[in-house]
Every structure is written in structure tokens, then in C-alpha cells.
Amino acid sequence: MKRNTWQREAVREALDAREGFVSAQGLHAGLRDAGSPIGLATVYRALADLAVEGEADSLQSPEGESLYRACSTGHHHHLICRNCGLTIEIEADAVERWAQQVASRNGFTQAQHVVDVFGLCDACSLREAPGTT
Amino acid sequence: MKRNTWQREAVREALDAREGFVSAQGLHAGLRDAGSPIGLATVYRALADLAVEGEADSLQSPEGESLYRACSTGHHHHLICRNCGLTIEIEADAVERWAQQVASRNGFTQAQHVVDVFGLCDACSLREAPGTT
DNA sequence: AGCGAGTTTGACAATCATTATCAATAAGGA
DNA sequence: TCCTTATTGATAATGATTGTCAAACTCGCT
Ligand SMILES: [Zn+2]
Ligand SMILES: [Zn+2]
Ligand SMILES: [Zn+2]
Ligand SMILES: [Zn+2]
């Protein structure tokens, strides 16, 4: 049976408190800094569980790290600033349909998909673009 | 200046010979099995270069490995069988436009996107589904 | 063909995120 | 409260990827 521990709750809360995506390492560091004695392995486990249960979204950063984020509800995708990490959830039925179509049209079943858009947010764009340096 | 070595050529050819995506480790193993004395680090470097030069596509497997594949030309996405690795290149202007739109509509610039569909191919679907096992 | 500066290679060490261990702890039903 | 057993966490192990650096090689030049 699944038990309730303060650790799992702590991870859930820490995740909720974040704006964008965080790595397990990052979240653990944050918790430790906040005084929690929670262990690293536990954070990994808790995040993996949350992701399975649908309470968290997960994706791979370009560097290969697994990133997590508290997930509102339902299936959606993300628009992520690769400079400051700002994340915006986006829904796009059109893309969902397209993915299904592409899959079945090619004889594929049990289709899943990875759809994420990375870029520079409004604010960060200004700092990168101006100087034609 | 960039020099031509048999190693780089070997990697390019080995990659062309593959059907789906391969990991650097996998490609290296294959080359070694074929009798080549090429080093692992070199394969990593060659693949990274090919990816930058646009001669290879790269993506992260769900397990976090970097996978590479000889890339025909131009920007496109993939439909990948998560059982046998069969890969189909797909183009979808609609998705490209959508990604751009989502980005700019939210003030993002320099948008890139990750769009891949995973599923079970025709053949693999049969072996997984039948027995309600 | 022979030379030499500058690249590239490759064996091996170093990183680094993630997973496995496993004894100690604590959750929750009886 | 007591017992069973899931969970925790310090630490070791794993495994992919990158860094190191001397030796080998490329290629323009003579
Ligand atoms: Zn930003
Ligand atoms: Zn979707
Ligand atoms: Zn491709
Ligand atoms: Zn298949």
C-alpha cells in the first residue's frame, strides 16, 4: 500500500512553489537550503512517482537532465524560455489530433508524443538581440 | 581547418547504413564488431559534429541517451517505434507554423521545437496487443 | 617526396545524473 | 500499543558523456 510521508509531501509542495521546470538535483538542493533533511534518493523517487501519477510533468532538458514541474491538469505542452526558464503551458488540440493522425496513418498504435517549444521569452529577447555585437 | 580522416568517414557511413536511431555507444560497438579500431571518444566527437553540420539528426531517448540518425535534408520530425526502433521521417508544415505561432504569440523569439511521436509500429502492435495476457 | 605546424585521435581518467543497496525507520492496520 | 512492511537515506555502483594529453596524422608548402 502507498503510505503518506512528510517527505513526499515536502516534494509536492516544493514543486508547487516553483515557477518553471526543476531537476531532481535542483529541487533537492532547494529543500536542503530550506532546512529539510530529506535525502536525494527520496526526491528522485518522489518525483518519479508524481510523474507517474500525473501530478507532475516531466521532460528532458537538451543536456539530458530530467526536469519536473507541478502539473495543473490534463495533457498539455510547454513553451520554455531557454534563458530564464520561464514556462508557459500550452494546449493545442490541433497538435493532439495531428499526432494521432500521423501515428495511425502509418500503422502505429499506442502513440505518445513529445512536443515542446523552446525559445527566448519577451524579456530575455531584449537582452540577447539589441547589440548586433 | 577541418580535416578529413577515415574515422569521420567511417562514422558517416556506419550511420547511413542504419535504419533507425543509434546511440554513440551502439554505433561504436557496431564499428568495432565490423573490425574497425576506431575509438569511442572519436565516435562521440564525430556524431556531435555531424549533428551540428546538419548531416545527422539527434534526439534524446526516453532513457536520456542521445540518439543519432543520418538525416536526409531539411527540417523534419520523427515517428518512432519504441519497440523495434523503426523510424519514419515526417514533415508537417502545419506543426512548424503552429510552433512559430505559439512562440511569437507569447512574445518568444528564436523558437526551436522538439516534436516526436513514439508508438508501436504495425508489426510490433500485433505482438503486443493480441494476447490480452 | 619531405617537412612542420596545427588537428585529430584514442586510451584512460574524471564527471555527473540517476539507480541500486540494505540496514534503520516509521506508517497504519489490528 | 504492536507488528508487518513500505519507505527512507547514506553510500556505493552504474553508465553515458566529456576532459586529458601524448602520439599519430593531415595537408599546405617547398
Ligand atoms: Zn526568459
Ligand atoms: Zn499532446
Ligand atoms: Zn531526420
Ligand atoms: Zn516496431
Same domain, B59 and B106: no
Same domain, B11 and B64: yes
| Tens digit of each residue's pLDDT (9 = 90 or more) over A63-95 | 788 999 887 767 788 888 877 778 888 888 888
Closest C-alpha among B121, B81, B125, B76 to residue A105 = B121
The CA distance from A10 to A6, in Å, is: 6
Residue B66 Cα to ligand 3 middle (Å) = 14
> Which residue, of B71, B87, B116, is where some domain finishes?
B71
| pLDDT attached to residue A129 | 55
Regions of chain A with pLDDT less than 70: 73, 128-133
- CATH number at A132 reads 3.30.1490.190
| pLDDT attached to residue A130 | 58
| pLDDT attached to residue B130 | 57
Task: Using pLDDT thresholds of 50, 70 and 90, give the confidence band for residue B128.
Answer: low
| Tens digit of each residue's pLDDT (9 = 90 or more) over B23-66 | 999 999 999 999 999 999 999 999 999 998 888 888 887 788 89
Task: Using pLDDT thresholds of 50, 70 and 90, give the confidence band for residue B121.
Answer: confident
Same domain, A90 and A132: yes
Closest C-alpha among A13, A38, A20 to residue A28 = A38
Same domain, A33 and A78: no
Q: Span B60-80, mean pLDDT?
A: 82
| pLDDT attached to residue A133 | 40
Residue of higher predicted confidence among B19 and A55: A55
CA distance between the termini of chain B: 59
As ranges, strand C nucleotides with an atom below 7 A of a protein CB are: 7-12, 17-21, 26-28
Partner residue opposite A109 with nearest CB, options B115, B116, B120: B120
Please name the amino acid found at residue A44. Y
For chain A, the domain total comes to 2
Partner residue opposite B111 with nearest CB, options A98, A99, A117: A117
Given a contact cutoff of 8 angstroms between Cβ atoms, the answer to whether A55 and A12 are in contact is yes
Same domain, B67 and B101: no
Task: Using pLDDT thresholds of 50, 70 and 90, give the confidence band for residue B133.
Answer: very low
The CA distance from A41 to A44, in Å, is: 5
- CATH number at B66 reads 1.10.10.10
Same domain, A107 and A62: no
Same domain, A54 and A79: no
> Which residue, of A32, A53, A71, is where some domain finishes?
A71
Task: Using pLDDT thresholds of 50, 70 and 90, give the confidence band for residue B89.
Answer: confident
Same domain, A90 and A65: no
In this structure, the strands spanning B77-81 and B109-120 are: parallel
> Which residue, of B71, B97, B125, is where some domain finishes?
B71
Same domain, A46 and A110: no
- Contact criterion met (CB < 8 Å) for B120 and A106: no
**pTM for the model:** 0.74
Same domain, A25 and A57: yes
Same domain, A56 and A87: no
Please name the amino acid found at residue A128. E
Residue B96 clears pLDDT 70, i.e. is over it: yes
The domain of B53 spans 1-71
Same domain, A84 and A58: no
> In whole angstroms, what separates CA B1 from the centre of its chain?
27
